[in-house]
Amino acid sequence: MKFKLTLMYDGTNYHGWQRQKNGVTVQEVLEDVLYGVFGAETAVVGCSRTDARVHARMFVCGFSADTSIPADKLPFVLNAALPPDIRAVKGETAPDSFNARFDAVKKTYEYRILNTVHADPFLRNYAWHYPAALDIAEIERACGLIRGRRDFRCFMAAGGKAKTTVRDLSELSLVKDGGLITVTASANGFLYNMVRIIVGTLVYVGAGKLRADDLTALIEGRDRRALGLTAPPQGLCLVNVEY
């Protein structure tokens, strides 16, 4: 039987979602727990390959298992064995053809920037502290210039292996609440480090290190080196996945 499982996790202590040799990942922890529950190795396919220290308020994954446990009871069973920074919140049955990654039609990320003189120790794992002044109006203008359907090759970090770099970035907006800036990005798919590079570029624009008026030409130039830095991972959170 095929299952669709929705998770939430705090990525602070993990080297991202996908299994790897050099650190503990969310996928590894979940598959180990599933082995304990089902008594068999269970391969899990995730909706995204979140980086080390990146969080998820909604992360969808799928797997097949031979079990009598009802789908809606799976979260209760799994949460009894999962660490407290990973929670299963919804279990459903799914068609055998379901693929959590390739069936997704839209993903939404939020990135939080703490734009205050002094850092907040309670946000150190959940926001990028950027103490210099930022021009919010210019950042909003830059959002409008980046948003849309186009080739986002210049927003892909080295090591990205996407077959095509054209994406439909349907939303790129921000909300400022005191010193906390939240950038929201929605697209039909994202390239490697794409959101973090977009945020780093927006911050460069807000800090006067790049001109918003130059963005269109820079994007068309497809040169990663011409844009902003890659924002640190802890400010990023996957918040919604649509199928």
> Looking at the annotation, which residues are catalytic?
51
Closest CA to 239 of 166, 156, 171, 191: 171
In the chain the beta strands, taken as DSSP E runs, fall at: 2-9, 45-46, 55-64, 86-94, 106-114, 128-129, 148-151, 166-177, 180-187, 236-242
Pairing between β-strand 236-242 and β-strand 106-114 as defined by DSSP bridges: antiparallel
**How far apart (Å, rounded) are the C-alpha atoms in residues 40 and 45?**
16
Enter the tokens of residue 175: 């909300």
Give the CA count within 13 Å in the CB-facing half-sphere of 154: 20
Q: Where are the alpha helices (H) located in the chain, listed in sequence order?
A: 26-38, 74-79, 136-146, 194-206, 215-221
Give whole-number Cα distances, 102 to 35, 119, 171, in Å.
25, 39, 20
